[in-house]
Amino acid sequence: METIKIEYIINTVQGEGRWCGTPATLVRTFGCPVSCPWCDTGYGENKTDHGYAVMELAEILTACRERHVMITGGEPMIHRQLPEICEALIEAGKFVQIETSGAFWQDVPDDVWVTFSPKDHCSSYKSKPQFWARANEVKVVISDGREMDFYGEKLKSFKGEKLFQPEYERRQWSTPLCVQLAREYGGRLSIQAHKLLGLQIGRAHV
């Protein structure tokens, strides 16, 4: 495999969604062009400098100590090496989860759990329609409720898990709305547990 730019790999817990609380290795890939206004990884409108390491597949496999491996970003789907990394991790006995905006498509193995968090409402990078069939869970970040103009109809027929996550800075206002949407669509409130608990999700191994 050709090398890939990785911002960092840490052993921590998954803080969001279906696998919240699961011990997991987080692989944060480098780069994202989607530019969401509220991005909390420094790839949004207010971009910050990011370092990265150029890594070989074998180095990635060695760094993934937990059975659950979540590959996030940035936007992992911009990296053409992604399917090969997923295949190698599955071959090594890992459960692989990818978190994506869905703005780029990669044909990853069927065993990969895909968390799809579309950003059509806040970015010019629109999600690829095939994610509504491929994703295992859809996570809609709710800031003011207008997001549902983009996703409401699609969520009605979506077969996987439906998660409504308050945009963190507006959580006092948007949490009740998320609960209401969870009732309406047969979904769940998604909590960013790592933020509420002050868990370390940084560059150091935990």
CB of 30 to ligand SF4, least distance (A): 11
State which residue, 41 or 175, has the beta carbon closest to ligand SF4.
Answer: 41
The DSSP result for 3-35, as a single string, is: -EEEEEEEEEE--SGGGTT-EEEEEEES-----
DSSP-derived letter for residue 170 is G
Question: Does 44 participate in binding ligand SF4 (rule CB under 6 A)?
Answer: yes
15-34 mask for ligand SF4 (x: CB under 6 A)?
A: -----------------x-x
Provide the minimum distance between the beta carbon of 28 and ligand SF4 in the complex, in angstroms, as a whole number. Answer: 9
User: Which CB, 65 or 146, lies closer to ligand SF4?
Assistant: 146
Nearer CB in complex with ligand SF4: 34/60:
34
Tokens 């970040």 correspond to: 141
CA of residue 4 relative to chain centroid, distance: 18
Q: Name which of 61, 111, 53 is nearest 85 in CA terms.
A: 61
Nearer to ligand SF4, 13 or 32 (CB): 32
What whole-number distance in Å separates Cα of residue 22 and Cα of residue 179? 23
Q: Using CB under 6 A, which residues numbered 104 to 123 contact ligand SF4? A: 119
Q: Which range touches ligand SF4 (CB under 6 A), out of 61-69, 72-80, 162-170, 186-194?
A: 72-80
Parallel/antiparallel/unpaired status of strands 53-55 and 4-13: antiparallel
Measured CA to CA in angstroms, residue 40 lies from 15, 46, 90, 121, 160 at distances of: 14, 10, 29, 17, 25
How many residues bind to ligand SF4 according to rule CB under 6 A? 13
Least Å distance between CB 183 and ligand SF4? 26
Residue 50: both structure tokens together: 């990011």
In whole angstroms, the minimum distance from the beta carbon of 82 to ligand SF4 comes to 15
Signed CA dihedral, 17, 103, 169, 178: sign only: negative
Contacts with ligand SF4, residue ranges (CB under 6 A)? 32, 34-36, 39, 41, 43-44, 73-75, 101, 119
